[in-house]
Amino acid sequence: MPQHGDSDNRSAVDILIASDRVPANARPDLLTEDDIWALLDEVKDPEVPAVSVVELGIVRAVHWDGKELSIDVTPTYSGCPATELIEELIAEALRAAGFRDPKINQVLTPAWTTDWITDEGKEKLRAFGIAPPEGSSSKMSLLGEPEVIACPHCGSKDTERVSEFGSTACKALYRCKECLEPFDYFKCI
Amino acid sequence: MNQKEALTEYLLRLADSDMILGQRLCELCGKAPALEEEMALMNVALDLVGQARNWYEYAADLIDDGRDADKLAYRRDAHDYRNLLLTEQPNEDYAVTMGRQFFFDVWHYFTLKSLVNASDERVAGIAAKALKEVTYHLRRSSEWVKRLGDGTEESHRRMQDAVDILWRFTGELITPDETDQLMAEAGIGPDPEQLKEDWRGLVKEVLQEATLTPQPDDAWMYMGGKRGEHTEHLGFILAEMQFLQRAYPDATTW
């Protein structure tokens, strides 16, 4: 588990610690599905702590009938090493809210797409220094030229791709020719 | 062979090819020619190992003898492995590494593109996810083949050598056997003739742009990976890859 120590990631760690002391007076039976979505919106992606697992579109569904709670989640990439950790963080957050036995189901269909990242999520990515995915995943060409990606630092569109693959599976590496800063691009899939 | 047996066999082939190529790429960790290349190679390897796990998990459910994805990957010997011979070939220089990747990616891309429409829902789901990833793999490897082929005199020579060395392992990708036929008939696997046409079409298009010459379609081909008859390289890969699981079976703390 990464220990970045930055404030954005602290809430997830706090949740982990808090889960050791599930509040005895917690009344999850009073919570609605909307409340649970709001709760999950506090769980940040461990690799990209600027955005929550809800904003990234990783949480697909919440099923809550007042007794049994199950959450459908989908991995961003087949080999995303953060998948298990994200599932753990979600389960911990739910236990901290008093849910004793939340079920986390991994669903592969339909396959995750960057189109599911919310507009708010995209804005947060940009503010964090990661260029959000441009356009729709359905329009990606097989051998064609890549899209124009704006620099998240200065906004210039005079950028070049350094590598199709960046620091994590979901990102590509770019460089801004205007402000000369390198940056990650959350690539469209 | 009934359909369930054929599907199990087919899933193991997909899983093993992903796994072995992923392992091969990981050998370059810490040794790639440039930092960006290192990251790209490891990203591709990670995708492949993740896809392998998805296929292994499905295969394990069908085999249903208590073995899970880890046991299928780490406790089977070379003759049980069903990966394509191409995937076990050594990295050699970067032209060979990228040439191997390109030939595989083209096959992988068209295979997955067909599997997305498989009559089997779970196969279609895993393929849909993998296809998005492999589209990027193919874009990258085809760019490298063009860059090296249409580059300097030396890079052209090396890339042409890579094509000539690897060509003999490509026949297996597009030569169907009983399992491939059964899968196509079941509406799961790709139509073998279509796959052959697509693979040859795109490979020739890219090689032409790269100013490279393909070998003839009827060149002599090595085959056998799909039935467990491998080149000398696989045993060495498994010896390294499976060491920990063999030395400490069922260890739960690393």
What's the pTM?
0.89
- Summarised one tens digit per residue, pLDDT across range B99-155 is 999 999 999 999 999 999 999 999 999 999 999 999 999 999 999 999 999 999 999
Distance CA B254, CA B251 (A): 7
Residues of A within 8 A of B130 (CB-CB) are 78
ipTM for this prediction = 0.80
- Mean pLDDT, rounded, of chain B: 96
Q: Is A11 on the interface with B (CB under 8 A)?
A: no
Tell me the three state secondary structure of residue A23. Answer: coil
All residues of chain B having their beta carbon less than 8 Å from the beta carbon of residue A140 are 135
What residue segments make up the domains of chain A, in order of their start?
Answer: 7-106, 114-186
Per-residue model confidence (pLDDT) at position B79: 97
Burial label for A68, CB within 10 Å (0-12, 13-18, 19+), is exposed
Mean pLDDT, chain A, whole residue set: 84
**Chain A: nearest CA to B41, how far in angstroms?**
8
CB B114 within 8 A of CB B134: no
Q: What is the pLDDT of residue A142?
A: 59
What is the pLDDT, as a whole number, of residue B51? 97
pLDDT tens track for B220-233: 999 999 999 999 99
Query: 62-81 in A: which are within 8 Å (CB) of B?
Result: 75, 77-81
The pLDDT-based confidence of A21 (bands split at 50, 70, 90) is low
3-state secondary structure B121-164: HHHHHHHHHHHHHHHHHHHHHHHHHHHHHCCCHHHHHHHHHHHH
DSSP H or E stretch at residue B48: helix B35-63
pLDDT digits (tens, 9 = 90+) for A112-132: 999 999 999 999 999 999 999
Q: Which residues contact B74 (CB under 8 A, 6 or more apart)?
A: B241, B242, B244, B245, B246
Q: Is the pLDDT of residue B6 over 60?
A: yes
The helix/strand/coil state of A9 is helix
| A156 and chain B in contact, CB less than 8 A | no
The domain ranges of chain B are: 3-247
- Chain B nearest-CA distance from A148, in A, is 17
> What pLDDT, in 10s, does the model give residues B19-74?
999 999 999 999 998 988 999 999 999 999 999 999 999 999 999 999 999 999 99
Look up residue B217 and give its DSSP letter: T
Amino acid identity, position A101:
D
Is A173 within 8 Å of chain B by CB? yes
- Report how far residue A81's alpha carbon sits from residue A170's, in angstroms, rounded to the nearest whole number: 11
* Minimum-distance CB partner of B138 among A108, A142, A165: A142
* Helix B153-166 vs helix B94-115: crossing angle, to nearest 10: 50
Strands ordered across the beta sheet of A59-64: A59-64, A69-73, A103-106
Judging contacts by C-beta atoms under 8 Å, the chain B residues touching residue A109 are 121, 124-125, 128
What fold does the segment set A7-106 form as a domain?
GMP Synthetase; Chain A, domain 3 (3.30.300)
DSSP A28-39: GGG--HHHHHHH
Number of A to B CB contacts under 8 A, please give it. Answer: 81
Q: Is the pLDDT of residue B196 over 50?
A: yes
Helix, strand, coil percent content, chain A, rounded in steps of 5: 30, 20, 50
Contacts for B148-157: CB closer than 8 Å, 24+ residues apart: B148/B94, B148/B95, B148/B98, B148/B210, B149/B207, B149/B209, B149/B210, B149/B211, B149/B212, B150/B209, B150/B210, B150/B211, B155/B95, B156/B211, B156/B212
Q: Does domain B3-247 have CATH number 1.20.1260.10?
A: yes
